[in-house]
Structure 1
Amino acid sequence: MYGDVLSREPRASRTGRLAALAVWAVLLLGVWLWGRELTGFAAAPPPERPAAPASAAGEVGGGTVDGRALPLGREPLPGSEPRRVEVGAAGVDARIVPRGLDGHGAVEPPPMADPGLVGWYEGGPAPGAEGVAVLVGHLDTGTGAAVFHRLPSVRPGDRVRVARADGTVAEFTVEEVSTAERDGFDPDEVYGPRRSGRAELRLITCTGEFDREDGSYTANLVVSAYLTGVRPA
């Protein structure tokens, strides 16, 4: 797919494009492993962490971070395609495009021609529906910062809002920001649900050091959030 595009570009542009594509090497490896599970190649589903207590209204406890109580989780919404994502703490307000798996079982990244887009794996849950919805975005390209460049500044307690096709905005609260190293990558830990029965969200990009020898970053940044509210768009 990329070969035809690269062949028509001058040498300097090709170099920048190749450097940008390398950003995805670690991310695609991890999601490829996860994609194998989603498409039936895994021997068993990913393990779930123990369920948090639910209130009489169906809300799920959010737990605590650094001694601060996180808000209760809201019961999941019906599935609806996501349109935009807003992460105020990272300066993100971006359009979401659906992506599938490529021939190798990896999630297709957003088009390199528009690094301001965020990709949603449409083979999994929609943001707000029960399960783990996955959004991926570029950290940078060969020429500058991309949509998730400031994602490392996000902290537990920050909010993520996803506008959906049904006219609702699903509001998520970040509960964990972690780094998944390339060596010893555990797809169950990264993509498995944190609590049974919740609507969860993962925002994923590359992080760590750029390894020039193999043209990839050394880790993935994983922002984990859960549904805590819903409002009209």
Structure 2
Amino acid sequence: MAQQSAQHSARAAENAPGGDGSSRVLGWATGAALLGAFLIYNSVDASEAAPPPAAAVVAQATAHAAAPPPVSAAPGLPASRPTLLTIPDIGVSAPFTPLHIGTSGKLDPPPSDNNNLAGWYAEGPTPGERGNSIVAGHVDTKTGPAVFFLLSMVKPGATAEITRADGVIAKFKVDSVETFSKNNFPDQRVYADTPNAQLRIITCGGAYDHSKKDYTDNVVVFAHLESSRQG
């Protein structure tokens, strides 16, 4: 813990006004097409907390990159915006904020002043609806670990539940958790439309590149709708 605090302090100083990180911009690059734009979750306003656990699992996760997504037996739900994400295995319980493509052509990130906030791509399918719903959030910020700091520790078979505005709780089963280099990100595999209700949860991972003020990789959770219930 002392080492992690020291590391966090170092990057916090880097990001202090007037420091090297004072003009840092959150970069969310766009790729081919997901309802007009593929999202590649790029840099976050990261702090010098210890590198996220993803750094230790890059090789293992990449080895499973070719695994096809399963077909869900649960029927898709009507459209309804998400309000709360829970991932019990890593202690996540976070409200949602909608994310949109900004005037720059990039997806606007969640606010960096709230470490416990998940974003969802509002122009895509809502979680539980047929198709591929995209959820993204910070791994950390300059104030410390954020909502998806432990995302790479999620295991296949784990569950993620999303409460929706219509009161329905959509339960997703995790199929795989994989890490991809941002220089070789598989847009089509991550963002392509699906015939059933699926979920992608995305954050940064890998090593932190101080020269670019960005993480080198993305952690992606692949999941499918397993069931739903009225909350």
Range into which the TM-score falls when normalised by the shorter chain: 0.7 to 0.9
Q: Residue in 1 aligned with 2:74?
A: 74
CA apart distance, 1:219? 0.7
Q: Please say if residues 31 and 37 of structure 2, whose CA atoms lie closer than 8 Å, have aligned partners that are also in contact.
A: no
The separation in 1 between residues aligned to 2:217 and 2:93, in whole angstroms, is 24
Equivalent residue in structure 1 for 2:17, among 10, 14, 19: 14
Q: TM-score, normalised by structure 2?
A: 0.74
The separation in 1 between residues aligned to 2:190 and 2:140, in whole angstroms, is 21
* Consecutive unaligned residues in structure 1, runs of 5 or more: 1-10, 42-48, 53-60, 63-71
Q: Residue in 2 aligned with 1:204?
A: 202
In 2 relative to 1, CA 101–120 (structure 1 residues): closer, same or farther, beyond 3 Å? same
The separation in 2 between residues aligned to 1:20 and 1:201, in whole angstroms, is 33
CA apart distance, 1:14? 2.9
Structure 1 or 2, whichever has the larger Rg, is 1
CA apart distance, 1:15? 6.2
Alignment-mate amino acid for residue 122 of structure 1:
A
The separation in 2 between residues aligned to 1:17 and 1:132, in whole angstroms, is 38
Q: Please say if residues 97 and 110 of structure 2, whose CA atoms lie closer than 8 Å, have aligned partners that are also in contact.
A: yes
The separation in 1 between residues aligned to 2:21 and 2:88, in whole angstroms, is 30
Q: Equivalent pairs: percent with the same residue?
A: 34
The separation in 2 between residues aligned to 1:16 and 1:136, in whole angstroms, is 28
CA apart distance, 1:38? 2.4
The separation in 1 between residues aligned to 2:22 and 2:132, in whole angstroms, is 30
Q: Please say if residues 74 and 229 of structure 1, whose CA atoms lie closer than 8 Å, have aligned partners that are also in contact.
A: yes
Aligned residue pairs, count: 191
Alignment-mate amino acid for residue 200 of structure 1:
Q
Q: Please say if residues 20 and 142 of structure 1, whose CA atoms lie closer than 8 Å, have aligned partners that are also in contact.
A: no
The separation in 2 between residues aligned to 1:141 and 1:16, in whole angstroms, is 16
CA apart distance, 1:40? 7.0
Q: Residue in 2 aligned with 1:159?
A: 159
CA apart distance, 1:84? 0.4
CA apart distance, 1:20? 10
CA apart distance, 1:143? 2.3
CA apart distance, 1:17? 10
SS of the equivalent of 2:140 reads: coil
Q: TM-score, normalised by structure 1?
A: 0.74
Pairing of 1:39-188 with structure 2 (within 5 A): 39=36, 73-188=73-188
In 2 relative to 1, CA 180–134 (structure 1 residues): closer, same or farther, beyond 3 Å? same
In 2 relative to 1, CA 198–114 (structure 1 residues): closer, same or farther, beyond 3 Å? same
In 2 relative to 1, CA 78–130 (structure 1 residues): closer, same or farther, beyond 3 Å? same
Equivalent residue in structure 2 for 1:222, among 175, 199, 220: 220
Q: What is the Cα-based RMSD across aligned positions, in Å?
A: 2.8
